[in-house]
Chain A
Amino acid sequence: MNIEGDPKLTAYILDELDRDEVSSLEEQLSKSEESDILIRGVMEEASMIRDAYDMEPAHRMTPQQRADILKDSEIVAVTETSTDKILSFTDGLKCLDKKKVETEENNIWKKYFPIIVSFSAAALVIGMAVVLLKNDRIGTDPKSKIAQKPLDPLSVTILDSNTANENGRDKLSWIQRQIGVGPVKFPVTYRYGKPKPLNEISDSLVFLDGESFRNPAMEGQRWSVFPSNVSSKSYDILREFMLAGDVPDGKNVHIGSLINAFEYNYEYPNSGEKFAVNAEVANCPWDQERWLIHIGVRAADINKNKGKDILLVREVRMAVEFNPDRVAGYRLIGEDYTKKFDVNNSPNQIVLDGQTVTALYEIVPMEGTDFSESLTRNANSELVSVRIDYTDPENKDSRSLISSISHKSAVAWEEASEDMRFATSVAGYGLLLGGHEKGSSATYDLVLQLAKDALGEDKNGQRSEFIDWIKKTKNLEERR
Chain B
Amino acid sequence: MSSSPRVIDPSAVLLRRALSDFEVPLTRYAVSILGDIERSRDAVQDTFIKLYGQDPKAIEDKVKAWLFTVCRNRCYDILKKEKRMMRLEDDEIQAVSSLTDDPAQLMARAEDRVKLNSDLRKLLSLIEELPARQREVMRLKFQADLSYKEIGEALEITISNVGFIVHSAFKKLRQVMNQTQG
Contacts and interface: CB of A to CB of B under 8 A. Distances in A.
A76 B8 contact: yes
B17 interface: yes
Nearest to A55: B120
Contact of A53 (B13, B139, B150): B139
B5 A134 contact: yes
Contact of A52 (B41, B52, B127): B127
B19 to A, nearest CB: 7
A115 interface: no
Interface residues of A, number: 68
B7 A59 contact: no
A66 B166 contact: no
Given A14-B166, A16-B147, A417 B2 contact: yes
Contact of A134 (B4, B61, B138): B4
Interface residues of B, number: 63
| Most chain B CB atoms below 10 A, which of A45, A77, A456 | A77
Interface string A34-56: 00000001100110111111111
A77 B147 contact: no
Given A73-B9, A73-B11, A62 B16 contact: no
B1 A128 contact: no
A137 interface: yes
Contacts of B17: 132, 137-140
A131 interface: yes
B3 A70 contact: no
B45 A132 contact: no
Contacts of B52: 69, 72-73
Interface stretch (B21-29, B72-80, B87-95): B21-29
Interface string A67-93: 011101111111111100001010001
A389 B135 CA distance: 30
A31 interface: no
Interface of B: 1-9, 11-13, 15-17, 19-21, 23-24, 27-28, 30-31, 37, 40-41, 44-45, 48-49, 52, 60-65, 119-121, 123-124, 127, 138-139, 141-143, 145, 147-148, 150, 160, 163-164, 166-168, 170-171, 173-174
19 contacts: A6-B167, A7-B160, A9-B167, A11-B163, A14-B166, A52-B123, A52-B124, A55-B120, A55-B124, A59-B28, A61-B27, A73-B11, A78-B6, A80-B6, A131-B16, A134-B5, A141-B145, A142-B65, A265-B2
